Amino acid sequence: MKSCCCLVICLMVCALPIKAISISFEEVDRRFGINSDLTDLQKKSEWKKNYKGKCVKWLGQLVYLDEDWFGGFNLGFKHKRDTFTYDVLVSTPSSYEEKLITMKNGNWYSYTIKLDDYAGVIMPITGHIGKCD
């Protein structure tokens, strides 16, 4: 059984709210992952049309947390047991340091992000903290 430490990571930094879409990580992985029947070109096109810039709320296991090159932070969340590193990489602003300092690797967290990029089956989905409704 997973223990869950809920911390909703959501910060209002965008001018316009973005409506969250109701889709699980597992659904996105089925659509874009290694077992998808879509070609890479089809995946990139669908991502741009239907996912990029949309907000999602997912539950993942924190496996990576460190500063990035620009003064903010990156969090890596694992969703699949067989993932070597992390499935989702989340960027946060430096103002989130006090909240992030309490997080522990291995714990499960609920997080809300604005989706940025799908870069292929071996790369993580990327997202950032943004204003979500």
Domains of the chain in start order, with CATH, are 25-128 (2.40.50.140)
pTM, full prediction: 0.83
Distance between CA atoms of residues 55 and 18, nearest Å = 7
Structure tokens at 106: 């291995």
What's the confidence (pLDDT) of residue 119? 82
Check residues 6 and 2 and name the one with the higher pLDDT.
2
Q: Do 25 and 58 form a contact (C-beta atoms < 8 A)?
A: yes
- Residue 45's contacts (CB-CB under 8 Å, 6 or more residues apart) are none
Instruction: Label residue 96 exposed, middle or buried (CB < 10 Å: 0-12, 13-18, 19+).
Output: middle
pLDDT in tens, 44-66: 999 999 999 999 999 999 999 99
Q: Do 108 and 2 form a contact (C-beta atoms < 8 A)?
A: yes
Burial 13-32 (b: 16+ CB within 10 A, else e): eeeeeeebeebebeebbebb
